[in-house]
Structure 1
């Protein structure tokens, strides 16, 4: 079993980093190739907010994977999309992207969970990373990983 705290080693020469505005088109291409619906304007806003990650092949600088987060509630980060180029799949890149997103969420004050909604065939991927899984009944599932504890108002 993989773990979000130790997703295993990345392939040599691949780095996970925050997406920049210059990565926008590459991120769109990676997500599009995975047949994930993406709103280009919303993606631009997510990149500007620091809520997008890329897996970059260091030798060429090419983006081989991407992850986009949303902030549906102040205390929760949601994996809106994660994809890896077909020829790079199965090497731990997707796990490393999710692990980095979880580490970043843990570092944010008041964030207590990372969630995801995904096709049921990805259940094992998220379960292996430690997400608790709940089927939605429509061929999809929801995952939740507690990353900290938001401080409730005492008022």
Structure 2
């Protein structure tokens, strides 16, 4: 159960907090990727009320970044080529909040908000149980035993 966490789109003020969550999970995501994702409304955050005694601010405890931004000389973004399909660039939850359904909330919210019927992800073997529990079909990346590829079809 996710207790008091809720999910919302990230805003520019969340950038540093999102980077901290991703780095805390040892994910290598460029700050520019996250910033562009926030600008494109492709980053969601799981937040809880701050417990510092009165601050109205939310504390970011999880983040999900969809799609790699377009880079010079690279094909268009995945959602431009196939709007019914999106790719999870990164998803992470703070250590204190893991196992409480926060990651699931992030993925389910992103699916609902984007309206896509196919979600893909590439990830390390140690997080395979997370993706499998969400219903992703998982396989080893050909030629790389240290990477997994997952696909979730929602059947919309």
Q: Secondary structure at the match of 1:96?
A: helix
Deviation at residue 148 of structure 1 after TM alignment: 4.7
Deviation at residue 59 of structure 1 after TM alignment: 4.2
Q: TM-score, normalising length from structure 1?
A: 0.80
CA distance in 2, matches of 1:90, 1:147: 23
1:31 equivalent in alignment to 2:39: no
Deviation at residue 95 of structure 1 after TM alignment: 1.2
1:127 equivalent in alignment to 2:132: yes
Structure 2 equivalent of residue 5 of structure 1? none
1:145 equivalent in alignment to 2:136: no
Between 1 and 2, higher relative CO (CA 8 Å, sep ≥ 6) is seen in 1
Contact 2:104/2:134, CA 8 A, preserved across alignment? yes
Contact 2:111/2:117, CA 8 A, preserved across alignment? no
Question: Following superposition, which runs of at least 4 residues in structure 1 exceed 3 angstroms of deviation?
Answer: none
Deviation at residue 58 of structure 1 after TM alignment: 2.4
Q: TM-score, normalising length from structure 2?
A: 0.80
Paired residues in the alignment total 136
CA distance in 1, matches of 2:139, 2:89: 17
CA distance in 1, matches of 2:14, 2:41: 12
CA distance in 1, matches of 2:151, 2:14: 28
Q: Secondary structure at the match of 1:138?
A: strand
Structure 2 equivalent of residue 10 of structure 1? 2
| Structure 2 spans left out of the alignment, 5+ residues | 52-57, 68-76
CA distance in 2, matches of 1:25, 1:86: 17
Structure 1 equivalent of residue 108 of structure 2? 99
Structure 2 equivalent of residue 3 of structure 1? none
Structure 1 equivalent of residue 66 of structure 2? 69
Give me the CA root mean square deviation. Answer: 1.6
CA distance in 2, matches of 1:16, 1:53: 7
1:49 equivalent in alignment to 2:25: no
Contact 2:24/2:94, CA 8 A, preserved across alignment? yes
CA distance in 2, matches of 1:142, 1:134: 5
